[in-house]
Amino acid sequence: MKPLITVNHKIHINAFVFQALFSAMFVAFAFFLDDIIDETIDERVSGSSKKYIKASLHFCVTFLLTFALLYTFKWIFGWGDAFLA
């Protein structure tokens, strides 16, 4: 698969910039979704199963978000072969 934007992967500063960009996007979106999940679960669920539901949802959201971001970066920049291998 050919990336939309060609980036020279041999220059180390590119790797640091892309890692910082990926990390910042992931953490910001994860915190945003964390607030939404917490508010929704707190309103709708009561009892001892609340923490297990929250943990399950956080796991699923984190997995899907990471997967989607990695494929987006792979498709746009051709970056992320190590994670997808």
pLDDT in tens, 21-47: 878 888 888 888 888 888 888 888 888
Q: Helix and strand tally (H, E) in the chain?
A: 3, 0
pLDDT in tens, 72-85: 877 777 766 655 54
Alpha carbon distance 85, 83 (integer Å): 6
The pTM is what? Answer: 0.60
Alpha carbon distance 67, 72 (integer Å): 9
